[in-house]
Amino acid sequence: MPVDVTAASTAAPAGALRTSRILIIAGSDSGGGAGIQADIRTVTMLGGHAMTAITALTAQNTLGVQAVHAIPAAMVVEQMRSCLHDIGADAVKIGMIGSAETVHAVADVLEPLGQAGVPIVFDPVMIATSGSVLADPETIGAFARLMRVATLITPNAPELAALTGRAVETASDAMVAGRDLARETGAAVLAKGGHLTLGAAEQARSREADARDLVADHLILPDGTDRVWTDPRIESQHTHGTGCTLASAVAEGLGRGLTLAHAIARARCFVRVALREAPGLGAGHGPMGHQRVRLDCDIGGATPNHVTLPADDHAASISFYRALGLTMIVESAGRYARFESVGGTTLSVEAVDEIGDRPVIFVEVADLDRAVASARAQGIAVADPRAEPWGWREARLTDPAGNKLCLYVAGEERRFPPWRLV
């Protein structure tokens, strides 16, 4: 019986604080690092409402998967229908499926949703971070149907190689295979580079001092156009659930109306901060720190999350804010220090010649150029955006009372600059 997509395709109320409705179809991870558990945490931290259709129960921890119990396809579909008929969905995320039968049953439900314009993100899970196999050849063969209904497919290098039959050993290989997959399926492909190194040509093109330690994620659209995001590799053993988290974060962004590129950029920031905040649990590939991603990713509007205060006694200011319980994360030349709070806000003190100088309130925005243009259209005088040497882009202004403000973009650099104190 086809699904009534009326509720599913009705958008949630518009606005920066809208709650996106994300239906997640995936397996349960008893260790809480990946799967449904990671998906729910990701969607919740980004401001969405997570609904689930569990495809499999697993007994797993940071060392591996000890057992898998597949949920019957009919029960998976009933979970989906229960959510869609009542609550509806603004986007769908697909992870571990479990069996070829379930693939086809899920596709039966999702095809009308895709036709109704609901974004669908498919993470073709085949192998867990620990190396455990989570999809047999028959199930992988059935993925073609889900890929044709997807808005975005998010394979890592081994998955991309399995789906295309190509060797994927460098970022250039991933681009070629990604183009093949996008052309074949009609879906956009985000070829993730976590398993790869940049080739010699890519390293030569990079502006980074040591391009060997960069990770490149390539978005390839069905028409062959592409975009790349490149960032320094975060060395960590605790990477369990990175793929699940990224796909769910993209789905949440698409569900709230972000463009595909914006949703991916925001999702990558979420994953990177969660990697940096990993709590170090377990003896193997541990979970990331989803719960510690605070005010680091755009959730739909301008966010005041940083203050810079003038100081005439640097050492006294450091002692004062440490005594209040803030953690110093940057100290520079005895004139500047930055602190972070448990809640994720940051505060800086900066030496001035005269203490009469005013504090600066920093308001982070998703798109600085657009925010500046919007302010100017409202008659607000804003300085031109500048790229600062500490990694932020800033545009300064004052309010009607003369208080100093700064619109800016920093992402992970706000709490995790390369010179962050250990």
User: What residues are labeled active site?
Assistant: 192, 239, 241-244
Q: Return all residues near 244 (Cβ < 8 A) that are at least 6 apart.
A: 26, 34, 35, 38, 39, 42, 95, 123, 125
How far apart (Å, rounded) are the C-alpha atoms in residues 91 and 114?
10
Answer positive or negative: Cα dihedral of 174, 177, 178, 179: positive
User: In 3-state terms, what secondary structure has residue 111?
Assistant: helix
**Residue 269 corresponds to which amino acid?**
C
Find, among 139, 380, 152, the residue nearest to 249 by Cα: 152
| DSSP secondary structure string for all residues of 148-204 | HH-SEE---HHHHHHHH-----BHHHHHHHHHHHHHHHSSEEEE--TT-B--HHHHH
**Contact in structure between 105 and 26 (CB atoms under 8 Å):** no
CB 326 within 8 A of CB 339: yes
- C-alpha 412/C-alpha 211 separation (Å) is 19
The SS3 of residue 17 is: coil
- Full DSSP string of 338-356: EEE-TTS-EEEEEE-SSTT
| E strand or H helix at 119 | none
